[in-house]
Amino acid sequence: MENWQLTLIILGAVLVGSLVHVLVMLSLTIYRAGRVINDLGKRIGPTLDQINTISNRLELLSRGLEGGDRSIASLLDALGAFSQGLERNMKLYTFSSSLLAAVGPAVGSFIQTMFHKDEAAPEAEARPEAGRPPVPQNPEVHPEAP
């Protein structure tokens, strides 16, 4: 046997060995995909039955309404007007809440200072102003104090 024939046999064996691995992995992948599709089919069956039941009920409902599609159209128009009214109310609520959030603390502090004016005065006298040193209570100890 010559060298090129031996090389060809070795390359063929390597190719077949790698193809066997690829084919085994491909068959396992296809088997798992088939199991997943089968499970999905079992789950989708009841869902499709429910969709069929809902569509039958909607068909009966549309037949039962007077005028059929005209009544459904007027119902949808009324629902659209209702949703627009809700949207306006939500915009009004958003505006009033933002206004209340902006003005509320100022009004609260104003009311607090108006009702607690007598209690706030002694605290103001006890606290020194910013940047000025506190005035001593006994002028004899510190005669240079104003």
Whether 124 shows a pLDDT value over 70: the answer reads: no
At 121, is the pLDDT very low, low, confident or very high (cuts 50, 70, 90)? low
* DSSP 8-state assignment for residue 101: H
C-beta of residue 141 within 8 angstroms of C-beta of residue 131: no
Which has more confidence, 55 or 6?
6
Q: What is the pLDDT of residues 41-53, one digit of tens each?
A: 888 888 888 888 8
Residues 99-112 have a mean pLDDT of: 76
Q: Residues 6 or more apart from 113 whose CB is under 8 A from it?
A: 120
